[in-house]
Amino acid sequence: MTMERTAPGGSGRDEAAGETLTSRLLTLARQQLGLTALALIAVVGLGISVYLTIVHYDSGVKLVCNTTGLINCQSVTSSAYSVVPGTSIPITIPGMLWFLALGALAVAGLRWAWRGEAEDPRLRISTLLLTVAGLAFIIYLVYCEIVLVQRICEWCTVVHLLTLASFLIALTRWQRRDEPAYEAPAPASGRATSNGHNASGQLSPSGRHAPPALSHRTRRALNQRPPARR
């Protein structure tokens, strides 16, 4: 009769690994608040868009919203302005694609930060242009709601606020494009700890120091600096 033995400290190592991963994720979220917020906005907006799309095609699914007075989702979502102009495609489908694109850009930025790598300079301008396009579209939709249909949809308003918030976040990140993506480690206490972080709290994959990210302006200045004279 054989008895199975558990390796001593095995469960402890698993728990430590789980705590390390959780700690790194929390550190990543704190250091990249803008990207984290964009990712969450994309998830919420995508969920609302999928729900409204199902309601549009399936009459058996009830629209949970007020249907009397000024706030009347049914009037808005069934109006002629609830579809892409010239088609029968509900505007929620382009909305789903928009939130998917926003989420993809946010996840790409978070992956670079997770690896301790400098962010691609095209990411911020791409995110800004995407949110500008979304903001322009919701301005058109708000005009249709208030002026033409003269009703307001609660679900649509939430999507509009999410789009506005994503634009403000993208604009702020683009204005700070010359700042480092993350803080450089403190020179006096820069050795990596056992949980994969250095003393300054910077993410450090595999327990190594992550090099400080220089801004594009700084890199240009270094490249243009004349060689030192001997």
Q: Residue 4: what pLDDT?
A: 47
Query: How many angstroms separate the CA atoms of 94 and 69, rounded?
Result: 28
Domains detected in the chain: 32-175 (1.20.1440.130)
Beta-ladder partners of 192:
198
Distance of CA 87 to the CA centre of its chain: 30
Is the distance from CB of 192 to CB of 207 less than 8 angstroms? Answer: yes
Number of Cβ within a 10 Å radius of residue 177? 16
| 3-class DSSP string for 86-97 | CCCCECHHHHHH
What are the pLDDT digits (tens) for 34-74? Answer: 999 999 999 999 999 999 999 999 888 888 888 778 888 88
DSSP annotation of 176 = T
Beta-ladder partners of 72:
67
Number of Cβ within a 10 Å radius of residue 40? 14
Report the candidate in 86, 92, 74, 225 with the shortest Cα–Cα distance to residue 152. Answer: 74
Tell me the CA end-to-end span of the chain in Å, nearest whole number: 80
Q: Residue 15: what pLDDT?
A: 63
Question: Distances from the Cα of 98 to the Cαs of 8, 45, 131, 132, in angstroms?
Answer: 50, 9, 9, 11
What are the pLDDT digits (tens) for 100-121? Answer: 999 999 999 999 888 888 888 8
DSSP annotation of 98 = H
Is the distance from CB of 134 to CB of 163 less than 8 angstroms? Answer: yes
Q: Residue 163: what pLDDT?
A: 97
Beta-ladder partners of 203:
197
Q: What is the mean pLDDT of each run of 10 residues along the chain (230 residues)?
A: 50 64 82 92 97 91 84 90 91 96 95 86 94 96 94 94 97 83 43 44 47 54 56
Which amino acid belongs to residue 107? V
Q: Residue 83: what pLDDT?
A: 92
Residue 86 has phi, psi (to 5 degrees) of 85, 0
